[in-house]
Amino acid sequence: MSERVVLAYSGGLDTSVGIGWLKDQTGKEVVALAVDLGQGGEDMDTIRQRALDCGAVESIVVDAKDEFANDFVMPALKANARYQKRYPLVSALSRPVIVRHLVRVARELSCDTVAHGCTGKGNDQVRFEAGVLALAPELSNIAPIRDLALTRDKAIAYAEEHNLPIEQSKKNPYSVDKNVWGRTVETGPLEDPWSAPGEDVWEYTQTPSGDKPADEVTITFAHGIPVALNGKSVTPLQAIQELNALAGPHGVGRIDIMEDRLVGIKSREVYEVPGAEVLINAHEELENLVMERDVNRYKRSIEADWSHLVYDGLWYSGLKRSLDAFIDETQKPVSGEVRVSIHQGAAVVTGRKSEQSLYDFDLATYDTGDTFDQSHAKGFIELWALPGKIAAKRDSK
């Protein structure tokens, strides 16, 4: 049997041409693997057939929408994961689930190499290859665009020469990656940091309008996971999909950020994450209600570390697993309901309640019935400030 390579296949120009290009350059048979993460667009059966028509010896399509939501997005939600405090890791979360299936297929079909369509400039090359090496160190990695000089003009010429079934149209100026958790847009006019995104950038959201009345949703969480919307039971995938549909028309979740890439360059990135914005805001506020102060404070620093690890392609690392264990422990009391008002680009928490609440009305109220003994405050402040007081006396000498 000929040597085989399994290619992470999107159905687009680069990976379609990559099938034949890989075979020509390496002599290996190519197995195409397309993973459905809720990105929408073309029918997956069409993508499967296109890979075969482009020369793949086998073409596999995996429906991983629920797997993605349950095993990858929900840990991110528990971590309130936002890279640079804003980006909820749309693409970074999708790569390790694709890697999981690339490794599985490679082993099942006796492939010795894994391939992907990344360039040498981005983060995804690291996420794919570091993930593969962590799960299957015996496999090799190859990237046709980066390693085999497959430029876009060569790809177009190759497709025309070999009559590949790829419809060519006026080139979209943007590079887009999307899944159910959100949508990533870069390049084209966005490469100028001063250039405002045009209306053609957006797909998951609409421009906020004051004429549109606010929508309200109550999200029920169980141990950090959304389990119901307005009292109706949902899976994690359904929760994301329904909140995308609810919040997108209000323009919620538009992000425009100068991003620090792992490879050392800055990149202007635009994201649409309507459902993610609603869920993270609600989840974080429920944690504020039920978590002890020190746990809450410490977890906020851990969230940044967790986000950096995932952004940097280290989903399968030992440190990431250890942080997961800490975060899962913190989620035990994170059950309750959060009410969110969605309007004019914002998802604002307007109410929260939980049987695990640490809020005590009798301690917090300023009205009659207050049970907080204010006489304790003076001595507490004296002890709290004592180190600073002693240092001030020393420094004044």
Q: Confirm or deny that 211 is annotated as ligand binding.
A: no
User: Residues with Cβ < 8 Å from 380, sequence gap 6 or more?
Assistant: none
Catalytic residue among 48, 50, 82, 95: 95
Q: Confirm or deny that 110 is annotated as ligand binding.
A: no
Q: Confirm or deny that 14 is annotated as ligand binding.
A: yes
Q: Confirm or deny that 204 is annotated as ligand binding.
A: no
Q: Confirm or deny that 259 is annotated as ligand binding.
A: yes
Give which of 103, 140, 110 is closest to 1, Cα–Cα.
110
Q: Confirm or deny that 46 is annotated as ligand binding.
A: no
Active site annotation includes 14: yes
Catalytic residue among 14, 267, 268, 312: 14
Q: Confirm or deny that 10 is annotated as ligand binding.
A: yes
Active site annotation includes 140: no
Active site annotation includes 66: no
Catalytic residue among 124, 177, 335, 352: 124
Give which of 52, 68, 45, 60 is closest to 106, Cα–Cα.
60
Catalytic residue among 110, 175, 195, 233: 175
Q: Confirm or deny that 9 is annotated as ligand binding.
A: yes
Q: What letter would DSSP give residue 87?
A: B
User: Residues with Cβ < 8 Å from 289, sequence gap 6 or more?
Assistant: 336, 352, 353, 354, 357, 358, 359
Q: Which residues on neighbouring strands pair with residue 62, listed in sequence order? A: 35
Q: Confirm or deny that 8 is annotated as ligand binding.
A: yes
Question: Cβ distance 94 to 68 under 8 Å?
Answer: yes
* H/E element, 156: helix 152-161
Q: Confirm or deny that 123 is annotated as ligand binding.
A: yes
Q: Confirm or deny that 359 is annotated as ligand binding.
A: no
d(CA 369, CA 67): 50
d(CA 389, CA 139): 62
Active site annotation includes 175: yes
Helix (H, G, I), strand (E, B) or coil at 201: helix
Q: Which residues are annotated as a binding site for L-citrulline?
A: 87, 123, 127, 175, 259, 271
Q: Which residues are annotated as a binding site?
A: 8-16, 87, 117, 119, 123-124, 127, 175, 259, 271
Q: Which residues are annotated as a binding site for ATP?
A: 8-16, 117
Active site residues: 14, 95, 124, 175
Q: Which residues are annotated as a binding site for L-aspartate?
A: 119, 123-124
